[in-house]
Amino acid sequence: MSYPPIHITFLGTGTSSGVPMVACDCVVCRSKDPKDQRLRSSILVATPETTLVVDTGPDFRTQLLRSSVKKLDAVLLTHSHKDHIAGLDEVRAFNYFQQKPMELFATEATLDRVKMEFDYAFSERRIAGVPSIQLNYIDEQTVFETGGLKIEPIPVWHMRMPVLGFRFGSFTYITDANRIDEASKEKIRGSAILVLNALRHEPHISHFTLKEAIALADELEIPQVYFTHISHQMGLHQEIEATLPPGRNLAFDGQTITL
């Protein structure tokens, strides 16, 4: 499968509360290091032909402005939790400037939730100013294409909730997971770069810990792994980064990767 050059930008690398967390006075939340300031997890994926985002959390407007995103062709959703969909309304700006609906790709369960959360966007009575969204149902086992870019869904588990990761050529992005079945591991193998959630050091019911994420990366023999969906409980970016083995790094907001 041939792939065009892909440019990845981490729009956000934080967990559902973001970092700093509201009302928290811990050392991480008081840190002045920009790498300790994490908006909710999302990435921008750009090729010469298309630009898309994976997830539109509550910080989506801020992320778009901060990264000067002027063009957006599609949105991919991993699942329907608020920290991954709450900013979807912001596609209105692209509707206006690009004069077309925003293409949205997700599973049937996720799109059903989107239609409930943003019911005004799908009403038969169209109101001026509401987002225009074209729903595209995707199957978790079937490769799909948008803007000339082939995308492979990677089913993972967020406790008992099905979540999708996505593979773009040799780049795989997985967030909000604490278990990955063998069939999905095979879809990840061979990636040059894997982005994987690592919430904190202590066990959690629905997210990988840093230790678990490192072990999975080693099991799959991925040469370069970036950890995302990070909480303030992880610790200071600079201190944790110094403890990680080669090829294992904490991602940070604004970081870019080119494949």
Q: Model confidence at 3, in pLDDT bands (50, 70, 90)?
A: confident
| CB-based contact 196:217 (threshold 8 Å) | yes
Q: For 206-222, how does the pLDDT look when each residue is reduced to its tens digit (9 = 90+)? A: 999 999 999 999 999 99
Give the separation between CA 148 and CA 150, rounded to whole angstroms: 7
Residue 2 has a pLDDT of 65
Walk across the sheet containing 149-158 and list its strands: 144-146, 149-158, 161-168, 171-174, 193-197, 224-228, 248-250
| CB-based contact 51:21 (threshold 8 Å) | no
Give yes or no for a cis peptide into 20 (omega within 30° of 0): yes
| CB-based contact 196:228 (threshold 8 Å) | yes
Mean pLDDT of 173-194: 98
Gyration radius (Cα) of the chain, Å:
18
For the chain, which domains are there? Answer: 7-258 (3.60.15.10)
- Which residues sit opposite 227 in a β-bridge? 196, 250
Q: For 77-126, how does the pLDDT look when each residue is reduced to its tens digit (9 = 90+)? A: 999 999 999 999 999 999 999 999 999 999 999 999 999 999 999 998 87
Percent helix, strand and coil across the chain, each to the nearest 5:
25, 30, 45
Mean pLDDT of 173-182: 98
Pairing of strands 74-76, 51-54: parallel
| Cβ neighbour number for residue 150 with a 10 Å cutoff | 14
